[in-house]
Structure formats: structure tokens, C-alpha cells
Amino acid sequence: MRIAVIEDNRSLRKGISYRLEDDGHAVDQLSDGAEADLFLTHESGDLIILDINLPGLSGLEILTNLRSRNDPRPVILLTARSTTADRVAGLDAGADDYLVKPFAMDELAARVRALARRKEVAPQKAIALGRLVLSLEPLGLTAEGQALDVPRRELALLEVLARADGAAVSKERLLDQVYGAGSETDEKVVEVYVSRLRKRLRAFDIEIRVSRGIGYSLVIGK
């Protein structure tokens, strides 16, 4: 999943992001409320972890704006406040869950998994790619029922291309989906992963086609 972590405490933000990345998610890190509100207006994603006390706009203001746009993304609120009134205010504003600081990273990871399961009534579990099957939860690739040994970053890139259903995906979007927006990773790393993945898929009549200036698309042979 692609998860936005909006928290102005740098150490906590980094700690949450490292844990989520270890669990296989792409993470967008933001620390300012106004910037986060603008980011969420224009960028897609699967889940939001949102601190209430932020500079610029508060987490509750961001959440209210999110729901006023009919954005259904699940939101986990983070706060140092533990009173019932604060929890009710957050849930009434449209939050899906609530964690009071300090909290254990294992608990946050469990809350993320629970919201991921609830996200869709009938979530897509796999994508057929010719002779291959891309399992989405957990992420994996099989050929005729046999698991293929493919690194997680390559699988994440393949998932983005597979979900695009033949449409071209820009290099920037691929980088955002695999590493998270704001990552300091060079875009050239996408070329490396595409090259490795292209070699793996060639034996199964699947091509990663490049359209210069536009992006990459998945083409499955007949």
C-alpha cells in the first residue's frame, strides 16, 4: 500500500516510516499541515496516518477537508491527548481509528493491517498476467503455482504496472509508489528495477514497454 505519514515530530515520523517500509509499504512523509492538505488533494494513496497537532493546519482540519471532498481513504489519528472528548472529536470528524502517544509500533502495524482488510468489501486478491499470477496480499509472483523469487521492490513496481492495465505509468509515479513521495532516491533507480524486471518477465512473454517522455507500460504476449 501507499501510506501518507503526516507528523511534525521528525523522529516519530521516521520511526513510523521505517516500520511501514519494512512491512512492504511505500510511504509519503509530510510534516506541515498546509502542505499535507495540498498533497492529499492532488495525490492518491491507500491510507493516512495523521497527527492532530501540526503547524499550518491541524490534523482535524485536514481530516475535515478530506471528508468534504468525499475522499474515502482510511485515517488513523495520532495525538498526545487521551481524553474521551478528543477521541470523539476525531472520530466525528471522520477518522477510522485513533492512537494515543506513546504507542507501540507493533500496535500501529496491526491497526494498518486491520484497516487494509476493511478498505474494500471485495478486495482484489490477485492479477493474472498471462502465464503469471501476481498475488496482492501478500505481494508475490507465481508461475503455474510455483513461487518465483523476486525482490520486494521489483514486485511493488510490477504491481503498479499491472494495476494500470496497459496504460503508461510515469517514472516519477513509479518512484513515488515504490519509495513514497519526497524520497531522496534518484529516478534512475527505476530504470535499474525496470531492467531487472524486464529480464525476469521476458521468459513469460511479458514486455515492459517504454514510451519516451511518457512512461512504462506492461504488454502481455498472446
Q: What is the CATH number of the domain that holds 72?
A: 3.40.50.2300
Residue the block writes with cell 495523521: 50
Q: Coil, strand, or helix at residue 146? A: strand
Cα separations in angstroms, 203 against 21, 127, 130, 151: 30, 18, 11, 17
Residues of the chain above pLDDT 70, percent: 93
Residue 92 shares a structural domain with residue 135: no
Model confidence pLDDT, tens digit, residues 129-142: 999 999 987 889 99
Residue 19 shares a structural domain with residue 110: yes
Residue 112 shares a structural domain with residue 142: no
Q: In this structure, how many other beta carbons lie within 10 angstroms of the beta carbon of residue 161?
A: 28
Residue 93 shares a structural domain with residue 130: no
Tell whether the model's pLDDT for residue 11 goes beyond 70.
Answer: yes
What pLDDT is attached to residue 114? 85
Give the integer Cα–Cα distance in Å for 30 and 125.
Answer: 30
Model confidence pLDDT, tens digit, residues 43-82: 878 899 999 999 999 999 999 999 988 888 999 999 887 6
Residue 99 shares a structural domain with residue 140: no
CB 54 within 8 A of CB 123: no
What pLDDT is attached to residue 121? 43
Give the integer Cα–Cα distance in Å for 144 and 182.
Answer: 38
Nine-digit cell at 117? 482488510
| Residue in 82, 79, 34 with CA at minimum distance from that of residue 61 | 34
Mean pLDDT of 76-95: 81
Q: Which CATH number covers residue 204?
A: 1.10.10.10
Range of the domain at 177: 126-220
What pLDDT is attached to residue 181? 61
Residue 11 shares a structural domain with residue 114: yes
CB 56 within 8 A of CB 65: no
Model confidence pLDDT, tens digit, residues 17-48: 999 988 888 899 999 999 999 999 988 788 99
Residue 184 shares a structural domain with residue 216: yes
Sign of CA dihedral 175, 178, 183, 186: negative
Count structural domains, the chain. 2
Q: Coil, strand, or helix at residue 47? A: strand
Confidence label for 204 from pLDDT (cuts 50, 70 and 90): very high
Model confidence pLDDT, tens digit, residues 163-187: 888 888 888 888 877 777 666 677 7
Give the integer Cα–Cα distance in Å for 14 and 37.
Answer: 20
